[in-house]
Amino acid sequence: MIGARGCFVLLLLAGAIGHTEEPTNGGLLSGGLLADRTLQQWKLPSKLREISGLALTPGGRLFAVDDEKAVIYEIDYVDGGLVKSFKLGKPVLKGDFEGIAYFDEHFFLVTSNGILYKFAEGRDGGRVEYEEIDTGLGEQCEIEGLAQDIEGSRLLLVCKEMHDGDEDLAVFFWGLSDGHAGIDGQTTLPVVDILAKLGTKNLHPSGIAVNPLSGSIVMVAARQHALIEMDRDGNLISAIILPDTNRHKQSEGIEISAADELIISDEGGKSRARLSVYSSRELKEQN
């Protein structure tokens, strides 16, 4: 395993979080997951500079996808090290990949135009075959995130922008139960309420996750440096600005572990990508 090359540790207090709104029904973003939590942030190896999505397996292993090539990385988010990587296809599949998810022993990738790729895990340095699925959602919006909803036996796909100019963004549900795949509903984001709480003029989600403990939907918006939490019915629970936005320059991936940890990846641009873990664990600063 390739070890991490840099780590930052920061203790965050509830009062340090900007534009925080108290949740109405026990959300995790304010008064919960980010309050009085430790942030451990890793600078990842240079080959992971363009991370566009995160996915956790039921066993707690973290995977990420490259933004432009179908290269899948397993990352040890306890120490920021690279465990392994594998590719889709030969030559490697290329596209505008915007998210990764894991369900029932298979991975799924999604592109901005709504194409899903389904495949099994590969060995380190290996290549795997894949199944291509056109969701048809590319005609409606630009997809910007993908998440697994284990309890609902479905995938969640979040829109960054609607092609018809509608400001009401959507989260689409892609059913996976009983071997039948297809759209089985959607929910509209309460954009007006979200903007009011964030104090911003626009909203462009860049990643999505399902909280395995509560079932709530949590999204990150890179341009707005924001986190948004909704319940399964699309009701807004909380919306906050990320603390210390200098540490979150372009948040594209998000996941929540069964141990109540919030994991966020930031693309590196001309520098190295970063992986942030908000946790209640007592962490020691590492060199």
Mean pLDDT for the chain overall: 84
How far apart are the C-alpha atoms of 26 and 11, rounded to whole Å? 22
Residue 25's DSSP bridge partners are none
Copy the structure tokens of residue 140. 């409606």
Is the distance from CB of 253 to CB of 73 less than 8 angstroms?
A: no
pLDDT band at 13 (very low <50, low <70, confident <90, very high): very low
Indicate the pairing of strand 274-279 with strand 262-266. Answer: antiparallel
How far apart are the C-alpha atoms of 30 and 90, rounded to whole Å? 45
How far apart are the C-alpha atoms of 114 and 175, rounded to whole Å? 15
| Higher per-residue confidence, 286 vs 81 | 81
DSSP letters along 21-38, please?
Answer: ---SS--SIIIIITTT-E
DSSP letters along 107-124, please?
Answer: EEEEETTSEEEEE----T
Amino acid type, 117: Y
* Residue 14 clears pLDDT 50, i.e. is over it: no
Copy the structure tokens of residue 145. 């995130």
Nearest to 212 by CA among 170, 255, 275, 159: 255
Q: What is the CATH number of domain 6-279?
A: 2.40.128.630
pLDDT band at 279 (very low <50, low <70, confident <90, very high): confident
Return the biggest CA–CA distance within the chain.
51
**Collapsing DSSP states into helix, strand and coil, what is residue 284?**
coil
Provide the whole-model pTM.
Answer: 0.87
Indicate the pairing of strand 207-210 with strand 182-188. Answer: unpaired
Burial 31-62 (b: 16+ CB within 10 A, else e): bbbbbebebbbbbbbeebbbbbbbbbeeeeeb
* Residue 23 clears pLDDT 50, i.e. is over it: no
DSSP letters along 142-184, please?
Answer: EEEEEEEETTTTEEEEEEEEETT--S--EEEEEE-GGG--EEE
pLDDT band at 29 (very low <50, low <70, confident <90, very high): low
How far apart are the C-alpha atoms of 164 and 59, rounded to whole Å? 40
118-135 pLDDT per residue, tens:
999 999 999 999 999 999
Say which residue the tokens 């969701």 belong to: 135
* Residue 166 clears pLDDT 80, i.e. is over it: no
Q: For the chain, give every domain's residue range.
A: 6-279
129-161 pLDDT per residue, tens:
999 999 999 999 999 999 999 999 999 999 998
Handedness of CA 231, 227, 33, 50 (dihedral sign): positive
